[in-house]
Amino acid sequence: METNDEEIISPSTAAAPDLDWTQIRETVRMLNLAVAQIGATMQEGDDSICSLTNSFSTMVGNIRKINAAVRNIPDSAEKNTIRDASEVVASDIEEAIILFQFYDKLAQRLNHVSSSLAIMSQLIFDSARLYDPYEWKGLQERIKSGYPLESDKVLFDAILNGATVEEALRLYQKNKSAGLGRESELVFF
């Protein structure tokens, strides 16, 4: 959460409380910590995915070279072995690239969570808005509207309707298994 000059958080902390200490500032600090940790994790994940993508691109280029060279080899058992192995490696790479879709979905969800926590942190820090139920309803609507999958909205609704985390996750899995998680606006590699 970025702060402007009017929103500077007091130096009073749980470790060194003074008369200005409040649990609200401690909550905001903890929310900001969660946002920062998600951001750091996403950056590390992006770096790893970038490296993997470069590796796969190099492998695809090498497979093309192998296939081009194999075309010039006279028919033989060795040629068939090389061609078959090349096809298996190409197939494995295609499968791995499909698995990258999981990371993309994970990244989008974590970015949504991070953004939601930052917005909630701002609401909690603003004493004029903190106790306004309309502000909280607006926050909830904003968070829900950002979900790309219907199954995520089902999870959100379950929690807001009083389900425990375990109950909501069971409902999420049930709906995901029924196909509600398949519609997607996600952009993959």
pLDDT tens for each residue of 5-27: 445 555 666 677 766 677 887 88
| Cα–Cα distances in angstroms (integers) from residue 108 to residues 44, 59, 81, 93, in the given order | 15, 27, 41, 23
Residue 139: its pLDDT value, please?
A: 93
Residue 157: its pLDDT value, please?
A: 92
The reported pTM is: 0.65
3-class SS of residue 60? helix
